[in-house]
Structure 1
Amino acid sequence: MDATEVIVVGSGVIGLTTAVVLAEAGRRVRVWTRAPAERTTSAVAGALWWPYRIEPEARAGEWSLQSLSVYAELASRDAASGVRMVEGVHAGTRLDGLGPWAARVPGLRTATPEECAGPGLWARLPLLDMPVHLGWLRRRLAAAGGVVEERGIARLDEALAAAPVVVNCSGLGARTLVPDEQVHPVRGQLVVVANPGLTTWFTAADATSDATTYFFPHGERLLLGGTAEDGDWSTEPDPAVADAIVKRCAAVRPEIAGARILEHRVGLRPARPAVRLEREQTGGDGVLVHNYGHGGGGVTVAWGCAQEAARLAGAAS
């Protein structure tokens, strides 16, 4: 068995980013995935950088800021990454309601009355086109010598038998692979419409409801959301929910009401009371690192978590 080999289980944004960091640190990386990246939850994410529904807050804040730095650099130098810096408003959010990480986000400020009717924050943040970004991650991984293999497993022991180091980035799959009953889905439904000309994003989340309101511009497409339905496993779009999403977004920007619907999407966020990012003693010679349970913040913390997972795996300083 090659002592430099690492198997990463899972090919969502957490798995692929972790694999890239490991491969670029000189490890021989194989990604084992039950489904290709374009069929993961990450592929349907709205993908605005923002620590959302993710704990523990202090660690998540640090991981988020590390990722923010990477995304800002990618946006400035690599259009093929699918990352852009885009302006927008978080309605109903105040600076004093956020953790210490917020003070370190460049340009984050209270929105003016012209920018937001009521309390809110203005920011220029990374917005990712996830199908594009996942493809870019796979190409970057391949350039570093890593490979992706479509291979489903029933237990992590199967990966530990094939490589000395395994990093578990299985997301919702960790519920059965670990097994970890604390992992559960938070269902998110989106509607993709033809963009009527919007260039800024908008979010408004109600902590007391499973309905959220947001729209994210991606060129000729506009992603509308959304929902946060705890414990719901359904991946079928609900027409009534879709209609409500469009109406909520159109109440903010009326031109959305007549936009042509292009697609319906549903993703199951892999939630947990807190992210599990730690090295587990396996009882054998193998090294097992867990990196899962990121809820709605996987894109936001991907690079920070990947760097920490690589250190735990002994592959980065």
Structure 2
Amino acid sequence: MLLDERGVSTLPDLPTPDFAFDPHQPGACVAGLRPYRKNSYRLDKEVLGDKFVIHNYGHGGGGITLSWGCAAKVRDMILKRQAETGIIEREIAVIGAGVMGMTAATLLLDLGLNVTIYSDRKPVETTSYKAGGQWAASILEYSKDFAKVQEFQYILRTAYTMFKASIGKGFGVSEVDNYSVNTTSGIDVVHDLVPGLLPPREYLQRLPFEGHNTSGYRYRTLLVEPPIFIPRLERDLRARGVTFVSRRFINSTDVLTSLTQKVVINCTGLGAKDLWNDNQMISYRGQLAMLRPQVNLEYLYGQNGYLFPRHDHVVIGGTVEESDDEVFDPETCRGLVEYMAGVFGQTPAVPMPEYHVHHPRNERLVDPRLSIAP
């Protein structure tokens, strides 16, 4: 332990990122649309004609974080139906090839079922692949419905446990420190709902970075790297006999009449707005600046925006705007880098790129700037 002149514990400065960046280089900028739902994610079941449909979508910027937990709830719904009806439908249709669809498919395979995934996008084209990757809850589920709170606790606990168990097994998951100037509500909500799941946050008299003279916090959480995790899920599913079918459905009637499977798992994210007439869905665009990879950086950082060093890039993000347009703006990405470089004292300080966020009344969301998705 190091002590400063006042006898207060302090830490040696950690490496400073190299902020060299050209937003016009291929792959330097990324934009994705977070699938928010006004009144919380949807995770329920219904019978439509001869089809048993489970809906699993609307997780906002927390899709990767919640994925294994939501997949476990989908599996449990299937098991409960089997127990109640005595009928085992072996053929399952999963709609959506993002993280929700592929994790659900994985756990359904473990039940000995045959799964086919239908999607109009390849896994590497989904928003899941564009996520930043920090494990944190980006949606706040403090509902008066006690059962809903219990469900969210189960999802968080299950997802974290499964991700942590996959560390070192080729899924792109690691345990890391997150340094933040302010408390991070996306992680604090986990501390509140599932005490003891994550190590307690630590208050620091000074954050250990060049250009910093302020206090802050250190959290211990997980980093899930989508460019490793998403392809690994797809490879494993294909190796286990899952077929990926390129298919765009027109509406729910098209789904119900054209699929031969009697069980349908709906993991369509923003697609649910049109496909299932869910007008509670809202798309928030997030943009990411992708710096070159820097193996000496082994921490996450947050101050308005965020900086996540991964194997493929150092990712800088944090912008949010209500939009259906998935096109990035090079100048916004440049602004992200300039802002973060200023925070680290490498360039003159500049403001974070402006947010344009509208939250409809009664919406239960953590500040989207704390989201893990782009």
In the aligned structure 2, how far is the partner of 1:35 from the partner of 1:98? 32
Matched, 1:63 2:161: no
User: What pairs up with 1:210-289 in 2 under 5 angstroms?
Assistant: 212-219=304-311, 221-229=313-321, 231-254=322-345, 273=363
Pairing 1:44-59 to 2, within 5 Å after superposition: 44-55=130-141, 58=149, 59=151
Question: SS at 1:81's partner residue?
Answer: coil
Give 1:158's aligned residue: 254
Partner residue in 2 for 1:198: 297
| TM-score normalized with structure 1 length | 0.72
Which residue does the alignment assign to 2:180? Answer: 90
Which residue does 1:279 correspond to in 2? Answer: none
C-alpha change, 1:180 and 1:297, in structure 2 (3 Å) is farther
1:176 equivalent among 254, 257, 274: 274
- 1:147 alignment partner AA: T
Q: 1:111 and 1:82, CA in 2 relative to 1: closer, same or farther beyond 3 A?
A: same
The share of aligned pairs that are identical, in percent, is 24
In structure 2, the gaps of 5 or more residues are: 1-49, 51-87, 144-148, 349-359
Correspondence for 1:73 among 127, 145, 165: 165
SS of 1:53's partner is coil
Amino acid at match of 1:111: Y
Q: Is the 8 A contact 2:95 2:118 kept in 1?
A: yes
Which digits, 9 at most, give the CA deviation of each residue in 1:128-183, with x for residues without a partner? 22121111111222233322111111123333332110011000000000010110
**CA displacement at 1:232 relative to structure 2:** 1.1
CA distance in structure 2 between the aligned counterparts of 1:82 and 1:273, rounded to whole angstroms: 33
- Paired with 1:115 and 1:243, the residues of 2 have a C-alpha distance of 25
CA distance in 2, matches of 1:85, 1:94: 17
Deviation for aligned residue 1:123 = 2.2
Question: What aligned pairs does 1:298-309 form with structure 2 within 5 A after superposition?
Answer: none
Aligned-pair CA distance for 1:221: 1.9
Q: Secondary structure at the match of 1:137?
A: helix
**1:160 and 1:274 mapped to 2: Cα distance?**
31
SS at match of 1:175: helix
Q: Residue type of the partner of 2:199?
A: G
Task: Indicate the SS of the match to 1:18.
Answer: helix
Contact 1:182 1:273 in 2 (8 A): no
Structure 2 CA distance for partners of 1:61 and 1:51, relative to 1, 3 Å: farther
Cα shift at 1:254: 4.1
2-structure distance, mates of 1:273, 1:160: 30
SS, match of residue 181 in structure 1:
coil
State the alpha-carbon separation in 2 of the partners of residues 126 and 67 from structure 1. Answer: 11
CA distance in 1, matches of 2:184, 2:245: 44
Shift of residue 63 of structure 1? 1.3
Q: Say which SS state the counterpart of residue 149 (structure 1) adopts.
A: strand
Do the aligned partners of 1:62 and 1:101 also contact (CA within 8 Å) in 2? no
Partner Cα distance (1:274, 1:159) in 2: 30
Report which of the two has the higher share of strand.
1
State the alpha-carbon separation in 1 of the partners of residues 173 and 347 from structure 2.
24
Cα distance in structure 2, aligned partners of 1:94 and 1:7? 38
- Residue 94 of structure 1 deviates from its aligned partner by 6.5
Amino acid in structure 2 at the alignment position of 1:110: E
Point out the structure with max Rg over C-alpha.
2
Cα contact 2:116–2:242 (8 A) shared by 1: yes
Residue type of the alignment partner of 2:249: I
3-state SS, counterpart of residue 103 of structure 1? coil
Superposed counterparts of 1:106-145, under 5 Å = 106-115=198-207, 118=214, 120-145=216-241
Range with greater deviation from structure 2 (138-147 or 177-186): 138-147
How many angstroms apart in 2 are the aligned matches of 1:98 and 1:274?
Answer: 13
Give yes or no for contact 1:51–1:61 (8 Å, CA) kept in 2.
no
Displacement of 1:112 in angstroms is 1.4
Query: Residue 87 of structure 1: SS of its match in structure 2?
Result: strand
| CA deviation after TM superposition for structure 1 residue 5, in Å | 0.9
Q: Deviations over 1:194-221 (max 9, x none)?
A: 14542210123xxxxxxx4101011362
What is the distance in 1 between the residues matched to 2:215 and 2:153?
A: 22
Q: TM-score, normalised by structure 2?
A: 0.61
1:220/1:38 CA distance change after superposition, 3 Å: closer
Per-residue deviation at 1:28?
0.8
Q: Which amino acid aligns with 1:200?
A: Y
What runs of 5+ residues in structure 1 fail to find an aligned partner?
Answer: 205-211, 258-270, 276-294, 300-317
